[in-house]
Amino acid sequence: MRAGGAAISIAAFLSSAAFGCDDARAKEREELVRLSFALERVREAKPLERRDALTALEALTGDATRELRDACARAYRRDLDARTRLAEMRRRMAEPGSGAGEVARRLDEIDGVERDLRAAQLGVTTCLDHEFEARRRLELKRDVPRVTKRDE
């Protein structure tokens, strides 16, 4: 092969490698955009009405954002489960005939649920931080939604 032909082959290889990297980055960006929209849908739902949005989040596919998706889904699922249990306990405590023993037992359960909520909130905050970092790394310009009053 002549020197000119070798230079063209090397340039073609480097060009295709660069496009391969661009394709991978574009795929990762696309996955992150889908993930961000799904997370935004979860965040916008009232805390006790997040089940459908969470199911849609968990159904997303893609290797590039799998770890972030799974961590966020776990945090929001834990938050939803804890809030659901807390609402059910409050409902039971408000029923006529709830004795003092029942109330004491429910208060202990509430303490456990509150611990779960604190852990879930830590996971949600971590989810936001990792999503923001991924957006920064992939240079996505759209703002990341911040935790709203409903998330507290």
Report residue 23's pLDDT band, with 50, 70 and 90 as the boundaries. confident
The arithmetic mean of pLDDT across residues 103-125, rounded, is: 83
Cβ atoms of 93 and 106 within 8 Å: the answer is: yes
pTM comes to 0.65
Query: What is the dihedral sign for C-alpha 75, 69, 35, 77?
Result: negative
> What pLDDT is recorded for position 87?
84
